Amino acid sequence: MPVHSVKISDSVAAVKCEALLPKSNLTFSLRGGGVYEGLYEFANDLDEVYRRLAYDLDAFWDANDLVVAQLLRWFKLSALGVAAEIVLLTAAVGDTFFRA
């Protein structure tokens, strides 16, 4: 296998790993105790509880959207790398199949 194919293969593997690493700055759920304590003072005003909760959820959504957009860029880059790797590896071994 040519040396340049191995280097590309290593680079693609590194990009694929970045796309798969867990992200610590994603919010998947709210902590019940934190929500309860944060909204307890508004227990008598249910509309205010809903309003504050909606704004908090919007803030989490926006923060997650930035992380997911960055993750999507990594995913697209790794998919492109995999396609390039397949083409190069096919070209590297293809001449062995078609020799007479």
The Cα 20–Cα 16 span in angstroms is: 6
Q: How many domains does the chain have?
A: 1
Per-residue pLDDT at 78: 81
pTM: 0.55
**Residue for token pair 């959504």:** 61
| Average model confidence (pLDDT) across the chain | 79
Helices (H) and strands (E) in the chain, counts: 3, 0
| Segment 43-95, tens digit of pLDDT | 999 999 999 999 999 998 998 898 888 888 888 888 888 888 888 888 878 77
Print the domain residue range for 32: 3-97
- Are 52 and 42 a contacting pair, CB within 8 Å? yes
Per-residue pLDDT at 49: 92
- Are 81 and 19 a contacting pair, CB within 8 Å? no
| Segment 6-44, tens digit of pLDDT | 565 566 666 666 666 666 777 777 888 888 898 899 999
